[in-house]
Amino acid sequence: MFAMTNRPDGSWLMSGRLDAGAAEQARSTLGAISDTCRLDCSELDYIASVGLGLLAATQKRLLDRGSELILTNLSPHLREVFQLSGFESVFRLE
């Protein structure tokens, strides 16, 4: 079960598994982000290739506007995935 919850400070909490089954929901939420935004990944259990692709597309769109996605609280495994796949150099990880 994947969910994205908007917080009062404007950041988003991602929880559950961001896989093919959650792609449409994530696409629609990420598509609505138009300014620099923090994504809290502390409750994100798993990310599949489709999720990485969505994050990359969103980051590209935002970077072109001078904004960015900032990913926070990644688990050690997700941090390793970002580091190995080269995503670490495209996203600010906090």
Partner 1 sequence: MNDLLAIGLDPVTRILIALGPILLLVGAFYLLDSHRLVSPRQLLQALLAGGVCAGAGFVLNNLLLRLSGLSLLAFAIMVAPVVEELLKAAFGAWLVRTGRVGFLIDAALLGFATGAGFALVENIYYLNMLARSDLLVWSVRGLGTAVMHGGTTAIFTVIYFGITRGRGDRRPGVAALAVAILLHGLFNRFLVHPLWTTAVAILVVPPLLAVAYRVGEHRLQNWLGTGMDRDLKLLRLIRSGEVGSSPLGRYLQELRSRLGPARAVDAFCLLRLQAELNLVVQGGLLLRQNGLKAELPAEVGEKMVESSRLQRSLGPTGRLALRQVSPWDGGHPWQLRKLEQWRQEIPS
Q: Which residues bind partner 1 (CB under 8 A)?
A: 19-20, 46-50, 52-53, 56-57, 59-60, 63, 76-77, 80-81, 83-90
Rounded distance between C-alpha atoms, residue 31 and residue 78, angstroms = 22
Distances (CA, A) of 41 to 45, 65, 66: 8, 23, 23
Task: Output the smallest distance, CB 30 to partner 1, in A.
Answer: 13
Pick the closer one to partner 1 by CB: 7 or 24.
24
Task: Output the smallest distance, CB 68 to partner 1, in A.
Answer: 12
Nearest 10 degrees: Cα torsion 20, 26, 27, 29: 170
Do 53 and 77 contact (CB within 8 A), yes or no? no
Pick the closer one to partner 1 by CB: 43 or 80.
80
Pick the closer one to partner 1 by CB: 10 or 43.
43
User: Which residue type does 1 have?
Assistant: M
Pick the closer one to partner 1 by CB: 7 or 65.
65
